[in-house]
Amino acid sequence: MQIKNGKDFWAGIMYIGFGLAFVLVARNYSMGSALRMGPAYFPTWLGGLLTLLGVIIVARSFKSHLEHTWRLFEFRNKLFFASVVIGGLAYWGQAHLNGISPWFAQAVNGLAIALFFGAFGKRSLSWILLVTVLFGYLLKPLGIVITTIILVFGAALAGHEFKFREILFLSIGLAIFCAAAFVYGLGLPFPVWPELRG
């Protein structure tokens, strides 16, 4: 037995994962009957079907006429497991431990997310997704001007060429544009500069 079509194999695994997750989580809710469906009824059926299709797709990947390697993109196991462990601990900690400073909790969450995105694909993927998340966290404390500059620099690092001066001008230009268009123009409730009161 050998995996012939890696694309199908991983797609199938993904569907099985999603399907099982939905079925298992739905067990927490009441099933009801066909007459009066509970909140678990529809998701359980859908999740079951999804799992079944996933199994079919995986099975098909062993006897496919298309050949694809099973390594579709770079994947770093260590980062992935680290992120799962840290993320799991953080989730457990937030539910069971009292008196953790919100800053610390945020930092641990952030670390788990960063490791998670770092585990997949090429550098471009990790950087783009990381700066997206970073933008969400930094906008309130740092204001749109500084956050924009950070985002543009981070995004530029995802590319093939990085020219410092070019990106500097681009980021400053975009920062001015964002402040003018989104905050003053469209009236979005973003701070422009860091709030010093903390």
Partner 1 sequence: MELLLSNLSLGFSVALSLTNLWYCFIGVLLGTLIGVLPGIGPLATIAMLLPVTFTLSPTSALIMLAGIYYGAQYGGSTTAILVNLPGETSSAITMLDGYQMARQGRAGPALGIAAIASFIAGSAATLLIAVAAPPLAEVALKFGPAEYFSLMVLGLVGAVVLAHGSVVKAVAMVLLGLLLGLIGTDVNSGVARFTFGVPELSDGLGFVAIAMGTFGFAEIILNLEQGEHREVFTAKVGKLLPSMDDFIYCVPSIIRATCLGSFLGILPGGGALLGSFSAYAVEKKLTKDREKFGKGNIRGVAGPEAGNNAAAQTSFIPMLTLGIPSNAIMAMMIGAMMIQGIAPGPQVMTQKPDLFWGMIASMWVGNLMLVILNLPLIGMWIKLLTVPYRLLYPAILLFCTVGVYSVQNSAFDSILTALFGLFGYICVKTESEPAPMLLGYILGPLMEENLRRAMLLSRGDPTVFFQRPISAVMLTLAILLLIVIALPFLRKKREEVFVEGET
Instruction: Identify residues 166-195 at the interface with partner 1 (CB under 8 A).
Output: 166-167, 170-171, 174, 178, 182, 186, 188-190
- Quote the least distance from Cβ 102 to partner 1, whole Å: 13
CB of 93 to partner 1, least distance (A): 13
Q: What is the 3-state secondary structure (H, E, C) of the chain?
A: CCCCEHHHHHHHHHHHHHHHHHHHHHCCCCCECCCCECCCHHHHHHHHHHHHHHHHHHHHHHHCCCCECCCCCCECHHHHHHHHHHHHHHHHHHHHCCCCCHHHHHHHHHHHHHHHHHCECCHHHHHHHHHHHHHHHHHHHHHHHHHHHHHHHHHHHCCCCCCHHHHHHHHHHHHHHHHHHHHHHCCCCCCCCCCCCC
Site for partner 1 in 60-89 (CB under 8 A): 60, 72-73
Residue 150 is a binding residue for partner 1 (CB under 8 A): no
Phi and psi for 47 in degrees, rounded to 5? -65, -40
Kindly tell me which of 99 and 187 has the beta carbon lying closer to partner 1: 187
* 95 is a site residue for partner 1 (CB under 8 A): yes
Residue numbers 31-50 binding partner 1 by CB under 8 A:
33-39, 42-43, 46-47, 49-50
Using CB under 8 A, which of the segments 54-62, 79-87, 97-105 binds partner 1?
54-62
Residue 108 found at the interface with partner 1 (CB under 8 A): no
Closer to partner 1 by Cβ: residue 85 or 162: 162
Among 20, 82, 111, 128, binds partner 1 (CB under 8 A): 128
Interface with partner 1 (CB under 8 A), residue total 72
- Shortest gap between Cβ of 197 and partner 1 (angstroms)? 19
Question: How far apart (Å, rounded) are the C-alpha atoms in residues 34 and 43?
Answer: 13
Minimum distance from residue 130 beta carbon to partner 1 (Å):
8
- The owner of tokens 């090429």 is 122
